[in-house]
Amino acid sequence: MGPEELRKLLESVRTRDTSIEEAINKLKMLPYDDLGYAKIDYHRHLRKGFPEVIFCQGKTVEQVAEIFKRLSRASDTNIIGTRASEEMFQAVKKHVPGAEYDAMSKMLMRRFSNTAKRGKVCVCSAGTADLPVAEEAALTCELMGNHVERIYDTGVAGIHRLLDQVDKISQANVIIVVAGMEGALPSVVGGLVDKPVIAVPTSVGYGASFHGLAALLGMLNSCASGVTVVNIDNGFGAGYAASLINKLAGDQ
Amino acid sequence: MGPEELRKLLESVRTRDTSIEEAINKLKMLPYDDLGYAKIDYHRHLRKGFPEVIFCQGKTVEQVAEIFKRLSRASDTNIIGTRASEEMFQAVKKHVPGAEYDAMSKMLMRRFSNTAKRGKVCVCSAGTADLPVAEEAALTCELMGNHVERIYDTGVAGIHRLLDQVDKISQANVIIVVAGMEGALPSVVGGLVDKPVIAVPTSVGYGASFHGLAALLGMLNSCASGVTVVNIDNGFGAGYAASLINKLAGDQ
Amino acid sequence: MGPEELRKLLESVRTRDTSIEEAINKLKMLPYDDLGYAKIDYHRHLRKGFPEVIFCQGKTVEQVAEIFKRLSRASDTNIIGTRASEEMFQAVKKHVPGAEYDAMSKMLMRRFSNTAKRGKVCVCSAGTADLPVAEEAALTCELMGNHVERIYDTGVAGIHRLLDQVDKISQANVIIVVAGMEGALPSVVGGLVDKPVIAVPTSVGYGASFHGLAALLGMLNSCASGVTVVNIDNGFGAGYAASLINKLAGDQ
Amino acid sequence: MGPEELRKLLESVRTRDTSIEEAINKLKMLPYDDLGYAKIDYHRHLRKGFPEVIFCQGKTVEQVAEIFKRLSRASDTNIIGTRASEEMFQAVKKHVPGAEYDAMSKMLMRRFSNTAKRGKVCVCSAGTADLPVAEEAALTCELMGNHVERIYDTGVAGIHRLLDQVDKISQANVIIVVAGMEGALPSVVGGLVDKPVIAVPTSVGYGASFHGLAALLGMLNSCASGVTVVNIDNGFGAGYAASLINKLAGDQ
Amino acid sequence: MGPEELRKLLESVRTRDTSIEEAINKLKMLPYDDLGYAKIDYHRHLRKGFPEVIFCQGKTVEQVAEIFKRLSRASDTNIIGTRASEEMFQAVKKHVPGAEYDAMSKMLMRRFSNTAKRGKVCVCSAGTADLPVAEEAALTCELMGNHVERIYDTGVAGIHRLLDQVDKISQANVIIVVAGMEGALPSVVGGLVDKPVIAVPTSVGYGASFHGLAALLGMLNSCASGVTVVNIDNGFGAGYAASLINKLAGDQ
Amino acid sequence: MGPEELRKLLESVRTRDTSIEEAINKLKMLPYDDLGYAKIDYHRHLRKGFPEVIFCQGKTVEQVAEIFKRLSRASDTNIIGTRASEEMFQAVKKHVPGAEYDAMSKMLMRRFSNTAKRGKVCVCSAGTADLPVAEEAALTCELMGNHVERIYDTGVAGIHRLLDQVDKISQANVIIVVAGMEGALPSVVGGLVDKPVIAVPTSVGYGASFHGLAALLGMLNSCASGVTVVNIDNGFGAGYAASLINKLAGDQ
Amino acid sequence: MGPEELRKLLESVRTRDTSIEEAINKLKMLPYDDLGYAKIDYHRHLRKGFPEVIFCQGKTVEQVAEIFKRLSRASDTNIIGTRASEEMFQAVKKHVPGAEYDAMSKMLMRRFSNTAKRGKVCVCSAGTADLPVAEEAALTCELMGNHVERIYDTGVAGIHRLLDQVDKISQANVIIVVAGMEGALPSVVGGLVDKPVIAVPTSVGYGASFHGLAALLGMLNSCASGVTVVNIDNGFGAGYAASLINKLAGDQ
Amino acid sequence: MGPEELRKLLESVRTRDTSIEEAINKLKMLPYDDLGYAKIDYHRHLRKGFPEVIFCQGKTVEQVAEIFKRLSRASDTNIIGTRASEEMFQAVKKHVPGAEYDAMSKMLMRRFSNTAKRGKVCVCSAGTADLPVAEEAALTCELMGNHVERIYDTGVAGIHRLLDQVDKISQANVIIVVAGMEGALPSVVGGLVDKPVIAVPTSVGYGASFHGLAALLGMLNSCASGVTVVNIDNGFGAGYAASLINKLAGDQ
């Protein structure tokens, strides 16, 4: 139940279109629903401006299906499940026929077409192997109501590819930069634009990349100002933060 | 030379109030000035919306003084020197009488009173020992034209102190959260508000804090959405990113 | 052979209800039994107040079955096997029909119904994915004679879910707090209650969680007093320590 | 203000020995006092059973002196300042003449003679160089009302020194074991007794001790059950947790 | 070709029982044989007192089989292949029918019955899961001509099991101590005997054992004198070094 | 399109043998071709003297096939795909019949016979298990037009095997030294010759090799001058750098 | 004694201008001179093309002075002492009046004016604080007979400063790139030129730079081909390797 | 009191030359003497064949002086204090006039001239900066009754210096090899001799040596058989272990 629905409910109580009893029934699942293994937080949309996101990794297929089902019944907003398996998707689809799955980013979604669109978030990625993470970020932004510009495969070793795109990048309110290996791209982008940059290190690489540690450290030590960092491979986190930032710029 | 001054200069060229010769003289220091050991980037204000910031650590006293002097002559904007020593301040003051120094945050500044004020950035810190970093963030925000709300000493082990402040925190556009030791504060704050949170780990702690590593890892793994992270003790970086974000919300 | 049985045996020797020869036969398996690859320590119940626990990981199925069988014959107390596989359970069941297996926590058990119950231990967990570790802790406590209160899925990013449960938590003598990712929950709980808190980091997370290292460091640096820590994913160790502590509070 | 004082105050309000106005004045400093750089938590004694402890490292001498002074005025309980310098002690003594300082453990204290005594906590240490940490633990326990038995210099390489002391150790309700280098002592002690053991790794050692990391990892991986661990050199944390545990055993 | 054979060959050249041509043919494979991917070092027995050992991990099945075959033809000494797979054994057996394989320690061997026996090496291990490494050490010692005393499952948490064996341990010239988890056993053993102790950390454990790092650091920081350490899981290395040491004590 | 072809094209434009329209068509794929998931950089041969190399790991089979196909059509130079799977090779072969695959080094190649040959690069490796990395380096050098001398299995523990080869090694212009475990070989080689040495650590080893970290650190700390290092297992990177260096020595 | 002097000596022996006895006296200090604490290697110039370099750190002032003195007497080539203190310089100057000292790079030198000059080595550095390391590299190159082009303060966050210099950089045979913090500069430079790049990470930075680890890992994972890496702050090592490479390009 | 003295005492009791009372007085300090902060272990000589060694680091000057004094009174054997300061030596000398101090190795000693001499231990070191550790090893060996051969400054980058010494090295029963930086020397030495090699990593180096970690890991991964390792900078530990090993070879 989102804030819009809640306001309507309370107004209809005031206008006596809804009885107290009915209102209580609708509200009683607040603030959360306790499944024993999980407490579903329907209140979250009110508090954070977006419904609960399901971090699927480490949950059983049954748990994911049950939580997704309950969230989909409780509200009419978009729903996001990250790091989901194909098998989880199959289980969810039985209960929520409109659910979708993106195999590259491993995202499980319920998506409504009437999502309002805010200004542009730009998602840059350094190499082709970084795409799953970049797509997780891009899809999260889209599901949270943002226009997304994708600029992929623009690593720093071929700097001219990046310089060609500076105009496009500059038009976004926020830039998400996804890179593995040495993770240098956010520094270069951050030096070219005057917008907040969210850097996402990926585990792409081998040897002394130490599963993304090299990229993470590189980004944390960026000599460019205005760069902040999220966890390795955390495309969702970058997309979520970018959405909160983009919201500040107001609707278009 | 900031964008406002530049526009005026070009307009006065068009209106013939300034001769071509004069304009060339004023512009010729663009794009940067090469001191051998440093290339001063006067163009930066145009490109990034703020003048060059001097990272003083690792530079000699003479180098800092020379760079500060040149920047102060080239433009009428605020100037920031981070991780500066008292000795550097003394050397700068000889050339730039209006320079100030904040011993707690080790910041060296030239500050003009007519700085425009944007919406509020909130700076929270977990413990008293985190103050130098929190102040570096807060002063950076102020020098970049933001209202700042400081909420200090609100660690997660006394959660009621924090809950008392939720209303105040919620009114800010961006929240900077500074914490050492286990670095848990950003997760709790991030769960309470629907604004972007910039987490700053500090090196406060001992033993298995490993000079801030524990706090850094904690923040990168935050279970709250909307949290991004900067380097250990990087109050300046957090303040700078917060300013870019706050700018998106427009002037008040 | 537990301390109660031993005292009875010795008293019956004194009252001549048991002959010296009989007593010797019963005692002769003390102090331990050498299988070559393992020395089974029947004495342990006397020394530590609980029988040998079998750490099954790294042992062959045959070794686990043999040790479990011998322990079950030597004494009438509960028996615990941790990190056991389904296959080990099948092998044990052939010799010890009453053996049970909990697939989530991977615990292999022989459980007697007449277990005495002491005061309450509370087991809190941060996320659904932490449940296997939380259940290992909870089952260990139950098998060692404690009442257990389970409070699951109460992460710090939704602090109201936790605050709702403070009264329940406060009634326990000891609190076990299980959390992955940034591991912040023990700090918050430790700040709310005046009881010992045992923190269990889990390997839940990805990227810079480094298989539980982030949570471990976070807990070791907890700013709340009264928090001690066990190894990553060591639900059993937390349950065991909690049981020793709860025993000090006396039987109810 | 401790819980005992608070109850008396409220009873005297009920019996009209104290006017409402007086009570309000006495209570109004609740829940905490905001110094800007620190929020002093007078409520803590009620909530956690002990007054605020001052973590002095990273605070200025002036900050420590001010906080200590306010706490000493607000209540008649013992006060603890950890990791304090001699200089801080000199500043505190001016305001709180009865303050004491222990140079070995760097503890700053106000200690009342009428402290109630609970059952015994045993503090073992492995080597002479571990004494500062062991004393921090022991003094914390004493200031929190526990009898303390000190057993020092009993490293595992001379196991007979330890075995001589087993009887003494067994009489304690809780055992704190302090060790640097390989940190093996808690495992041996934990295998000999059936009481909770709190292990404190110290930074004593060199080379591959990595400032206490070796001891910390050793203790976390202890093969003895019932061992929990605190941060490197955190004698205070061990003493505090031991006090909470010992309280469960009741007064003697 | 071992030193004994070489001496005989040279003597028979001197006594003219062998022609110069024959001797050259026999010697010409010295110093090594180049297979392209490997240089087989037949000279090693002369130089180090033992033939080339094959580190099988990372080699293909074909490479292992070829090297083993050549070594077995070149000399009549024992041959050792470490970290070999069952499949490698099957391939070797076709060429060297007398080859043996020990699945627990993954050792591939050719063993002659007439191996001379030197004084005793004692191999202690802490837990049942450490057996594969302990057996690698023990078998290496046996193949290099030493008597071996195995004392298994004597962890420090049940110190009495170890103390029972001190006499047996003391009779050895060298003691190999194998332990995972906290790796404390070498310190205790090293404090009880006046013989060199070779400590072998194993990867047994989980979480903060970090695949044997905890045990390795523990052993390197041993407070007992006379302890030296080899790589994690390197039973072979410990056995080899123990054999060199035991050789110094002379034949029995 | 390589620089030679480009020069010819432009000359034929000048001599009117090629129409402007034709030239435009041939040049229009410059500077790169955007596939969405990858930007193919045909310009690279001009800029770096060699065509784009495909880092196959992390790309899908389809992506590799498409990129390889486009590169093979755009130019007549050798093409290199590193860390490719057998499956990728099968997909590439359908489009580029002359493609080759080396299973040991996992390299996918298109190789022209008329490759010019420069002076010698020597590739040394320490153990048989290092061969896949050594071959990746050697094949890269050959595909980039260098003579290659392979000297394998010459570890420092049998220093005479290495000393036998010093003359051969000294004749090369550059030496690539591949080693796992302790990674000591580059130091010894670097001390024997007066040519640049490129050290390649490999992940060969176990336990405290930490997947090549030990070898990497060893090489970075080499006491021999003239040694530089590439990433763990990065045979390609070493081969590429060696080729650039060898080019400086001129054609033979 | 360098190779030129040696050839002359031998020729003068052949022409009988030098007696056998004299020659023996001159040669007898070969191959090295044993001071007990150091073996001075006069042969090195022959073997490696340059005299012994003195790594001064960790040596006493007396040891450095003695070694420098002996080297200066034995030959007429340039001499380099790295990581030397001012105090060492004072001690050396007494014996070797022509010795020089560069305080920024801490280099101690004896320099002859007639040093032959080879083609250009370019030394780029990212920030002003990297200068001591960059100068160590540049001076090493100059002392080894190379022309040096210095391009300082060209970090990736202001990419236009770097792009302005590409032509200059491209004219060098080898490029040394010195950078701290995220260490991204070598990737960008490596992508722009077709010459070997030697990357030198510096310890410039703080927090998660971990004393240069971030820069080191970044450089090892460079996505640009042709980049090799030396130890953190090892300007000398980079200069030495660059000199060996530049020598291949021949004299100008 | 050493074993020889003890045997004489008991024999004189049997022959009535010593009264029971006298014997009791002499023996009563067994097994150890409790100073509160330290338990002095006079029994150690009996148990380990050598008196207690004082690890001085972390002890106060007073504690070291008191322990040294008591040990010197209790027995007539050599005494060793490691990591002692000059100041400690001055305090000890007041009580034990014959005490000596070696400033390079920081060893504090009481040395008797009539020390029996066993076979040779060889101590090799790689660089001049490794001397303090090498001397700690060498002096420990001498004080424990071994002949010592010192071979210093024989790093692997100048392998001919080492090869010159192989004969000398081969004559020792045990070889201690001390090296910092990449720590490669033990592998080379271990490949040349058939005697046990004890490797001592030192903290000599900078940057990626990480205070000796690189050398430590290198030595643990040595490809030479027969190499065991002690802690970083632990010359004493190597000397002690070497002495135990050399004792096995019997007196000369």
pLDDT tens, residue by residue, G38-86? 666 555 555 455 667 899 999 999 999 999 998 888 777 889 999 999 9
Say yes or no to pLDDT of E136 above 50.
yes
Q: Please judge whether A231 and B237 are an interchain contact, meaning their C-beta atoms are less than 8 angstroms apart.
A: no
For D53, phi then psi, to 5°, come to: -105, 140
Closest CA to D122 of D80, D165, D157, D163: D165
Chains D and F touch (3+ CB pairs under 8 A): no
Q: Residue F131 and residue E39: Cβ atoms within 8 Å?
A: no
Find which of B37, B46, B62 to mutate to test the G interface (most G CBs within 10 Å of its CB): B37
Touching check for C10 and chain B: CB below 8 Å?
Answer: no
A28 pLDDT exceeds 50?
A: no
Q: In angstroms, rounded to a whole number, what is the distance separating the alpha carbons of residues A93 and A81?
A: 13
Dist. CA D133–CA A164, nearest whole Å: 60
Q: How far apart are CA G33 and CA H153, in angstroms?
A: 11
Read off φ and ψ for residue A160, nearest 5 degrees.
-65, -30
Residue H101: alpha-carbon gap to chain centroid: 14
Across the interface, whether the CB atoms of D182 and E214 are under 8 A apart is answered: no
Count the helices and strands in chain A (H runs, E runs): 11, 11
Q: Is the pLDDT of residue G177 over 50?
A: yes
State the pLDDT at residue C49. 55
DSSP readout, B7-25?
HHHHHHHHTTSS-HHHHHH
Do C and A make contact via 3 or more CB pairs under 8 A? The reply is yes
Nearest to B38 by CA among B55, B51, B26, B15: B55
**H helix or E strand, kind and range, residue D177:** strand D174-179
Question: Touching check for H222 and chain F: CB below 8 Å?
Answer: yes
Average pLDDT over residues F37-58: 68
pLDDT higher than 50, residue B130: yes
Q: Residues G188-231: pLDDT tens digits?
A: 999 888 899 999 999 999 999 999 999 999 999 998 889 999 99
User: d(Cα H209, Cα E39) in Å, to the nearest integer?
Assistant: 32
Q: Which residue has the tokens 């360098």?
A: G2
Question: Distance between CA B179 and CA B157 in Å, rounded?
Answer: 12
Q: Are strands H53-55 and H79-82 parallel, antiparallel or unpaired?
A: parallel
Residue D45 has pLDDT above 90, yes or no: no
Mean pLDDT of E154-170: 84
Q: What is the mean pLDDT of residues D14-36?
A: 60
Question: What are B39's strand-pairing partners?
Answer: B34
End-to-end, the C-alpha distance of chain B in Å comes to: 24
Q: Does G58 contact H154 at a Cβ distance shorter than 8 Å? A: no
pLDDT at residue A48, rounded to an integer: 53
Chains C and D touch (3+ CB pairs under 8 A): yes
| Integer Cα distance of D220 and F183 in angstroms | 32
List the structure tokens of D45: 């004694």
How many H helices and E strands in chain H?
A: 11, 11
DSSP F168-196: HHHTSSEEEEEE-TT--HHHHHHHH-SS-
Structure tokens at F231: 């990433």
Smallest CA-to-CA distance from D236 within D109, D126, D60, D72 is with D109
C-alpha closest to that of E58 among F39, F211, F59: F211
Q: What is the pLDDT of residue A52?
A: 72
Q: Is C131 on the interface with A (CB under 8 A)?
A: yes
The reply to whether omega before G31 is within 30° of 0 (cis) is yes
Please state the pTM of the whole predicted model. 0.88
Tokens of H131: 């001397």
CA pseudo-torsion sign C147, C150, C155, C161: negative
G169 to chain B, minimum CA–CA distance in Å? 16
Find out whether B141 and B148 touch, Cβ atoms under 8 Å. Answer: yes
Share of chain D above pLDDT 90, in %: 56
Q: Do E217 and D217 touch (CB under 8 A)?
A: yes
Give yes or no for residue G23 having a pLDDT over 50. Answer: yes
Mean pLDDT calculated for residue range C74-95: 91
Tell whether the model's pLDDT for residue H161 goes beyond 50: yes
Q: What is the mean pLDDT of residues C6-12?
A: 63
Give the number of other Cβ atoms within 10 Å of residue H115's Cβ.
Answer: 14
Which has the closest alpha carbon to D41: D1, D101, D99? D1
pLDDT for position C43 = 53
pLDDT at C196: 96
Of the listed ranges A83-87, B87-91, E115-119, the one predicted with least confidence: E115-119
Q: Give the gap in angstroms from C-alpha D217 to the nearest C-alpha of chain E.
A: 5
- On chain C, the residues whose CB falls within 8 A of the CB of A34 are 153
List the single range of C160-164, G165-169, H228-232 with lowest mean pLDDT.
Answer: C160-164
CATH of domain B118-251: 3.40.50.1970
Round to whole Å and give the CA distance between E46 and G144: 45
Residue D58 contacts C where some CB pair is shorter than 8 Å: no
pLDDT digits (tens, 9 = 90+) for B141-198: 999 989 999 999 888 887 877 888 888 998 999 999 999 999 999 999 998 888 999 9
- Cβ proximity of E211 and E178 under 8 Å: no
Q: Are C216 and E208 an interchain contact pair (Cβ–Cβ within 8 Å)?
A: yes
- With an 8 Å Cβ cutoff, are G229 and F246 in contact? no
**Which of A194-198, C164-168, D143-147, E221-225 is predicted with the least confidence, judged by mean pLDDT?**
C164-168
pLDDT per position as a tens digit, H202-224: 999 999 999 999 999 999 999 88
**pLDDT at residue number C28:** 45
The confidence score (pLDDT) of residue A251 equals: 65
Q: Which residues of chain H have a CB within 8 Å of the CB of F217?
A: 182, 208-210, 213-214, 217-218
Residues E195 and E102: their CA atoms lie apart, in Å, by: 29
Could you tell me the sign of the dihedral formed by the alpha carbons of A75, A79, A81, A87, in that order? Answer: positive
Q: How many angstroms away from the CA of G5 is the closest CA of chain H? A: 22
The Cα–Cα gap between B57 and E26 comes to 70
Q: What is the pLDDT of residues G77-132, one digit of tens each?
A: 889 999 999 999 999 999 999 999 999 999 999 987 556 678 899 999 998 899 99
Contact indicator for H210, G211 with CB cutoff of 8 Å: no
DSSP at C95: H
Contact in structure between F205 and F181 (CB atoms under 8 Å):
yes
User: CB of B155 within 8 Å of any CB in chain C?
Assistant: yes
> Looking at the predicted structure, is the pLDDT value of residue B42 above 70?
no
**Cβ distance of H128 and G58 shorter than 8 Å:** yes
Q: Is E97 exposed, middle or buried (0-12, 13-18, 19+ CB in 10 A)?
A: exposed
What residues of A are in contact with residue F232 (Cβ under 8 Å)?
A: 206-208
Q: Is C112 on the interface with A (CB under 8 A)?
A: no
The average pLDDT across F227-246 equals: 96
* Confidence grade of residue F149 (pLDDT, cut at 50, 70, 90): very high
* A192 token code pair: 């070219």
- pLDDT for residue F108 is more than 60: yes
Helix residue ranges per DSSP H, chain F = 3-14, 20-27, 44-48, 61-74, 86-95, 131-143, 159-163, 166-170, 185-192, 213-220, 235-248
Average pLDDT of chain E, as a whole number: 85
Helix (H), strand (E), coil (C) string for G202-230? CCCCCHHHHHHHHHHHHHHCCCCCCEEEC
Do chains E and G have 3 or more beta-carbon pairs under 8 angstroms? Answer: no
Nearest-Cα distance to chain F for A129, in Å, is: 5
Joined tokens for residue D13: 């309000």
The answer to whether residue B6 scores a pLDDT higher than 70 is no
Residue F106 contacts A, CB cutoff 8 Å = no
pLDDT of F120 above 70: yes
F250 Cβ under 8 Å from any chain E Cβ: no
- In this predicted structure, the answer to whether residue C246 has a pLDDT above a threshold of 60 is yes
Q: How does pLDDT run across C98-122, given as a tens digit for each residue?
A: 999 999 999 999 987 556 678 899 9
Residue reference for tokens 């000693």: H109
Give residue G197's pLDDT: 97
User: pLDDT tens-digit profile of D16-25?
Assistant: 777 665 655 5
Cis amide linkage into residue B132, ω under 30° from 0: no
- G165 Cβ under 8 Å from any chain F Cβ: no
Count other C-beta atoms under 10 Å from residue F201's C-beta.
Answer: 36
pLDDT, position G51: 64
Helix (H/G/I), strand (E/B), else coil: B146? strand
CB contact under 8 A, B207 and C220: yes
Residue for token pair 């007086």: D22
B196 in A contact zone (CB under 8 Å): yes
**8 Å CB contact between D67 and D33:** no
Instruction: Please tell me if residue D166 touches chain C, with a CB cutoff of 8 Å.
Output: no
| Chain centre distance of CA D129 | 19
Nearest Cα residue to F108 out of F145, F150, F136: F136
Residue D179 touches partner H, C-beta closer than 8 Å: no
Q: Cβ B184–C184 below 8 Å, yes or no?
A: yes
User: Which of A153, A158, A204 lies nearest to residue F58, judging by beta carbons?
Assistant: A204
Chosen from A50, A198, A248 to mutate, greatest number of chain B CBs within 10 A = A248
At residue G111, the pLDDT reads 85
- Which tokens belong to G98? 């022509």
- D249–C contact, CB cutoff 8 A: yes
Q: Which of A107-116, A123-132, F232-241 has the lowest mean pLDDT?
A: A107-116
The verdict on a CB contact (< 8 Å) between B223 and C157 is yes
- Render the burial of B31-55: b for 16+ CB within 10 Å, e for the rest: bbeeeebbbbbbbbbbbbbbbbbbb
* Per-residue confidence band for G15, with pLDDT thresholds at 50, 70 and 90: confident
**What are the tokens at B131?**
């103050």
Distance CA B99, CA B96 (A): 6
Q: What is the pLDDT of residue C178?
A: 97
Q: Which range, C58-72, E225-239, H148-162, has the best average confidence (pLDDT)?
A: E225-239
Contacts of H211 (CB under 8 A, 6+ apart): D207, H203, H205, H232
Structure tokens at G26: 């001159």
**Given this model, what pLDDT does residue B119 score?**
87
Residue B251, pLDDT above cutoff 80: no
Residue of G22 and B234 predicted with greater confidence: B234
Q: How many CB atoms lie within 10 A of CB D165?
A: 17
Indicate the pairing of strand A197-201 with strand A227-229.
Answer: parallel
Query: Distances from the Cα of F213 to the Cαs of A55, C71, E206, G102, in angstroms?
Result: 33, 44, 21, 35
SS3 A146: strand
What pLDDT, on a 0 to 100 scale, did the predictor assign at position D28?
45
Provide mean pLDDT across the span D101-117. 83
Please name the amino acid found at residue G132.
Answer: P
Q: Count CB neighbours of D202 within 10 A.
A: 30
Asked whether the beta carbons of E203 and E150 are under 8 A apart, the reply is no
How far is it, in rounded angstroms, from Cα B233 to Cα G229? 28
Question: How far is Cα A246 from Cα A145, in angstroms, rounded to an integer?
Answer: 10
Q: Which residues of F fall within a CB distance of 8 Å from E216?
A: 207-208
Domain boundaries, chain H: 30-110, 118-251
Q: Kindly list the residues from chain G whose CB atom is less than 8 angstroms away from the CB atom of residue B83.
A: 206
**DSSP state string for E227-247:** EEE--TT-HHHHHHHHHHHHH
> Is pLDDT of A112 > 90?
no
Residue range B204-248, pLDDT digits in tens:
999 999 999 999 999 999 988 899 999 999 999 999 999 999 999
Give the mean model confidence (pLDDT) for residues F54-71. 91
Q: What are phi and psi of G135, to 5 degrees?
A: -70, -35
**Sequence-ordered strand ranges (E) for H35-99:** 39-40, 53-55, 79-82
Helix (H/G/I), strand (E/B), else coil: F53? strand
The pLDDT, as a whole number, for residue C21 is: 59
